[in-house]
Structure 1
Amino acid sequence: MNQNTPPSSCDLRITSEVRQRVLTTAQLKDRGVSPAQAAERCRTGGSWQQPLPGVFVLHPGPLSGRERLRSALLYAGRPPASGRRGVPAQPAGTEDPGYGEAMITGLAALALHGFAAAPPAVSLDRVDVLVPRNRRLRSVRYVRLVRGSRLPRPEWLDGTPVAPVARALADAVVGLADAHTVRRLLTEAVRGGHCEPAVVVGELNRAKVLDRPQVVNAVDSLLAEGRALAEERLYDMVRTHGLPEPLWNVDLRLPGGPHLGAVDAYWPEEAVAVELDTRSPRHSRLDDDRRQEEHEAEWSAYAARREHLERLGVTVVHLTPRKLRDTREQQAAVVRTALMAAADREPAAYVMILPR
């Protein structure tokens, strides 16, 4: 055979590489296989199969989990996106232009992220694939297209583009009616360190599912879980990095005056307070404008309280759960610096310290 002669369909055999076993019509054509030849191979008793429109698997047996996922991505990503503008950059060695901007989301994505509460991806009857809102495709067979106006940057897991956990959670919850399953998934997201509660609630808010009965109680538990986890990280930071033991969870008040606010840790001799920011988007039936007004009012009240404490000579260190998770040593250094700087400041006003 001439070296430049394209291979025939008979030259394409099953390999151990899933990308060579699952191909689109265009990819087969590039390999010298016409649509008519591909269709002939997929007839009853043939050696190939066509699980989705425009996607071929080069063997007749059941699809493996990775073959189902690749088939779904190739279907949602077609036509091949080579050179198309707006496709996000992909890590070297993982790019597959046939996927375009499509990524696995929902329960299948959570399974790929390692969630014990999510069924194995291979056992799912449906695979959710996140695509741009303007994609002119429809859900078909085992593929459900989830459309979004602003797509997140995918995480690449074993060569598969997967939606980040918070987005995958929200897309999964949209299709779940069982409150127990919803609670387990949300709890695992926080306990497993995948993401912070505020990020999850923000995505659930975007998906407009916060007022569903199976979600409301789960979100309340999620926020309580996140608060407890952040407090545990704060305790661990103080003790692991040798900081003086503070007074935990106290209220500050002026003698005979107003309540100054609650703080998570307070060092009275140095007049240094630590406050955890575990605020989350409001989960209510209010419209977006009212919800934004509530958020801004809450932030204004927090800022006013902090300024009042600072005027009284109390240093307030503001920590977020994410900082305590990802940069705990740096946050300990910030608190230690504030404690050491107390000797150079004017004495703080006397404040009453009450248990919370």
Structure 2
Amino acid sequence: MRFKMASCPHVDQGLVELDVDVPMIGRVTKTRSIDYGLLADAFEDAVASRRHLLGLGFSSNTLARKCRPGGGWTRLFLGVYLLTGGMPSRQQLVRGALLRAGPLTFITGIEAARRYGVRRLPADQRIHVLVPHGRRVTSQGPMLVERTNRPWNGTLIDGLPVVTLARSLIDAARKEGRIDVIRAFIADAVQRQLCSLESLADELKYQRLGGTSLPRRVLEEVGDGVRSAAEAWSRSLVHRSSLPRPQWNVLIRSASGVQLAVVDGWWNEVGLAWQIDSLEFHLAPEDYARTMAQHSALLANGVMTVHTVPSRLKKDPGGVIDELRGAYRAAAERPKPRVSATLWRPI
């Protein structure tokens, strides 16, 4: 008979047909006759649950013996085994967490966002899973279990069930206490059009969710065009001052339509640009090199530009505001440069 064990918890965990001949189908009575290599091949990612193995006729003592040093198996979680032994791959570890959490479990948070291709994520190796409310399973090792009554939608990525990216990002943000980290991964997902602000805002409509104050703040910033931690600091600083509020991340073109630069802040009424000069705080290193190359183009077209390093935003906010006020007055006294400005959003 040909079969494979369905170890994906969003489906019925029985047998599904596959092109693999496995001699141990049915109840196993003589374990010494088993080809353990074929047994591992019979399970997705070579990860099996205790229930599946007992169903094949293995005894509890055999499972315990196989997980001892030299036994050939590795216990990933309580009741979940890696049948090839050794250190598990990330895929195998995630598969094990899903099996441990049980049917109708989906991945969320950082792990899910990583699988959608989001960059600028923290080095968080936890496997955050959603399980139906009332499920009696607890967090264990790298597995973070969250019980919820909220419905969710999802899809399969690499054969694993994951919730939507919007849900993943909000769940990740709720578990993250560093606002600059949240800014980085939400801005990356939105600006690269992996996820919309509208879908993220929809996730935040659930008022009972804990830990949503920081992601709500970040969504407001990203909606204004902020794309880095330093720009968020800049935005907050200007909002606390008497200066008019600028536009954020604006593409400046010359009178003939030639692209000159993308500036961090732009006061269109006077033609004043503001650049936050930092490699560290932009979403990608190439952004910094591009910014430096564009400074001379702005100057040649009469655009006055204030340059600020991010450290001064924290250490000398009063001095930064004084410089901006002085530059704003000076720009207002000059003829407005003949340039056009449009909001810039990277793809």
Tell me the TM-score normalized by structure 2.
0.53
Aligned to 1:302: none
Query: Is residue 171 from structure 1 mapped to residue 171 from structure 2 by the alignment?
Result: yes
Asked if the contact 1:22/1:55 (under 8 Å) is kept, the reply is: yes
Query: Is residue 209 from structure 1 mapped to residue 233 from structure 2 by the alignment?
Result: no
For residue 177 of structure 1, report the CA deviation from its aligned partner: 1.4
Q: Which runs of 5+ in 1 are unaligned?
A: 78-99, 233-356
Go from structure 1 to structure 2 and tell me whether the alpha carbon gap of 1:216 and 1:2 turns closer, same or farther (over 3 Å shift).
Answer: closer
Work out the number of aligned pairs and report it. Answer: 203
Go from structure 1 to structure 2 and tell me whether the alpha carbon gap of 1:204 and 1:185 turns closer, same or farther (over 3 Å shift).
Answer: farther
For residue 223 of structure 1, report the CA deviation from its aligned partner: 2.0
Identity rate, percent: 26
Aligned to 1:150: 150
Point out the structure with the larger helix share. 1
Please list, as runs of the form range in 1=range in 2, the aligned pairs for 1:133-144 lying within 5 A after superposition: 133-144=133-144
Query: Is residue 199 from structure 1 mapped to residue 199 from structure 2 by the alignment?
Result: yes
Q: Which runs of 5+ in 2 are unaligned?
A: 1-22, 227-246, 252-347
Q: Deviations over 1:202-242 (max 9, x none)?
A: 32342343424xx354222122239x99xx9xxxxxxxxxx
- Partners in 2 of 1:56 and 1:2 — Cα distance? 18
Asked if the contact 1:190/1:225 (under 8 Å) is kept, the reply is: no
- Partners in 2 of 1:48 and 1:59 — Cα distance? 6
- Partners in 2 of 1:31 and 1:201 — Cα distance? 47
Query: Is residue 49 from structure 1 mapped to residue 70 from structure 2 by the alignment?
Result: no
Query: Is residue 61 from structure 1 mapped to residue 86 from structure 2 by the alignment?
Result: yes
Q: Secondary structure at the match of 2:204?
A: helix
- Partners in 2 of 1:170 and 1:199 — Cα distance? 10
Aligned to 1:305: none
Please list, as runs of the form range in 1=range in 2, the aligned pairs for 1:309-324 lying within 5 A after superposition: none
Letter in 2 for 1:33: F
Query: Is residue 13 from structure 1 mapped to residue 15 from structure 2 by the alignment?
Result: no
Aligned to 2:111: 108
Q: Deviations over 1:17-72 (max 9, x none)?
A: 76151000111123332222111111133211111011011133111011001000
For residue 194 of structure 1, report the CA deviation from its aligned partner: 2.4
RMSD: 3.0
Letter in 2 for 1:211: S
Please list, as runs of the form range in 1=range in 2, the aligned pairs for 1:1-356 lying within 5 A after superposition: 6=28, 8=31, 10-13=34-37, 15=40, 19=44, 21-77=46-102, 100-118=103-121, 124-206=124-206, 207-212=209-214, 215-225=215-225
Asked if the contact 1:18/1:66 (under 8 Å) is kept, the reply is: no
Tell me the TM-score normalized by structure 1.
0.51
Q: Secondary structure at the match of 1:172?
A: helix
Q: Deviations over 1:269-316 (max 9, x none)?
A: xxxxxxxxxxxxxxxxxxxxxxxxxxxxxxxxxxxxxxxxxxxxxxxx
- Partners in 2 of 1:162 and 1:36 — Cα distance? 35
Q: Secondary structure at the match of 1:13?
A: helix
- Partners in 1 of 2:225 and 2:101 — Cα distance? 37
